[in-house]
Structure 1
Amino acid sequence: MTDVGLEQNPRVDRPSGVVRALLLAEQRGTPMKRVPEAEAVEGRGFVGDRHGKKKPHGKRQLLLLDEASLHALRMAPGQLKENLVMAGLPLESLPAGQRLGLGEQVVVELTEPCVPCSKLELIRPGLLKESWGQRGQLAKVLRGGTVREGDGVRLLDVNPEAPRPIRPKLP
């Protein structure tokens, strides 16, 4: 892929956030595995994560979560099945189509907010309602490479062609 997402936002020329944790869902129903680095593959997600195998080029290649949401929900990294925890960016307020640079190589594009599902009630009763608006953002990988814990996260451009999802209301 050519220089997709490489155009820096002129107002943001250095990392705005930081990668706090990287996690893989190796198999359905098993705990997430925390790793110090992950290899992102264009159109797939992280190597070793089951989501990219299930639906290549789908809208849910990665789930990104804001560290502040984890703290607010009193959860540890991986409990909400996220692949990447970041700090320093208002992730929930970013629009679909927002592109992010992860480390030096990886570029992802946000596709839509992750809607909490009933599986969260198995973790803790009431978590479905608590996590509404704090469940993170789904993303697809536009440019692969290695991302490591501690890498910077940069705001890049916004894809003007990205579909604008409708945010569902709390049930």
Structure 2
Amino acid sequence: MDSPSGTIRALMLAQERGTPMKRVLEAEAVEGQGFTGDRHSKKKPHGKRQLLLLDEASLQTLRLTPGELKENVVIAGLPLDALPAGQRLALGEHVVVELTEPCVPCSKLERIRPGLLKESWGQRGQLAKVLQGGAVREGDGVRLLDVNPDAPRPIRPKLP
């Protein structure tokens, strides 16, 4: 049986703080850093927030467009929020990422729409680190790989 798979619907780069995300058709993932040209890749190399992956269904449920939640990769066809920390995914032909923890909504979401912090709880996507770099393109496939048994298991915070 094939492993569940999805499709990359959008690739986004965070630019300067407070500016909109920039949509790109192709991004270069760098091992231990994130996407080339994304401001988060410079902040904390080898940190747990190199990329933010978001389920397209969450965007639709929240009535948002790609980039509004500051995600780097929008994926259709995989229930990202249901996957465990340590889950590894292949993005396209070369890139491998490992989920580190769910992204906790913050008060900045209230600037997009009052009530969005509460609405987005449990649908904010997953933070990930890049294990293997390479080029990834909009439309590329996404496959579930193995789960790192040694990955820390984060405590899922409760809604404030």
Provide structure 1 residue ranges, at least 5 long, that are not aligned to the other structure: 1-10
Residues 62-105 of structure 1: CA distance to partner in whole angstroms, max 9, x if unpaired? 00000000000000000000000000111010000000000000
| Letter paired with 2:2 | V
- TM-score normalised to the size of structure 2? 0.98
Contact 1:105 1:146 in 2 (8 A): yes
| Letter paired with 2:55 | D
Distance 1:41 1:154 in 2: 19
Residues 33-64 of structure 1: CA distance to partner in whole angstroms, max 9, x if unpaired? 00000000000000000001000000000000
3-state SS of the aligned residue for 1:92? helix
Aligned to 2:144: 155
Which one of the candidate residues 28, 37, 60 is aligned to 2:17? 28
Which one of the candidate residues 74, 85, 88 is aligned to 1:85? 74
Aligned to 2:158: 169
Q: After TM superposition, list the pairs within 5 Å mapping 1:10-159 onto structure 2.
A: 11-12=1-2, 16-159=5-148
RMSD: 0.8
Distance 2:157 2:87 in 1: 19
Distance 1:26 1:147 in 2: 19
Distance 1:44 1:12 in 2: 30
3-state SS of the aligned residue for 1:122? helix
Instruction: Give the deviation of 1:26 after TM superposition.
Output: 1.4
Provide structure 2 residue ranges, at least 5 long, that are not aligned to the other structure: none
Contact 1:99 1:107 in 2 (8 A): yes
Once the two structures are aligned, what percentage of the paired residues are identical?
A: 83
- TM-score normalised to the size of structure 1? 0.92
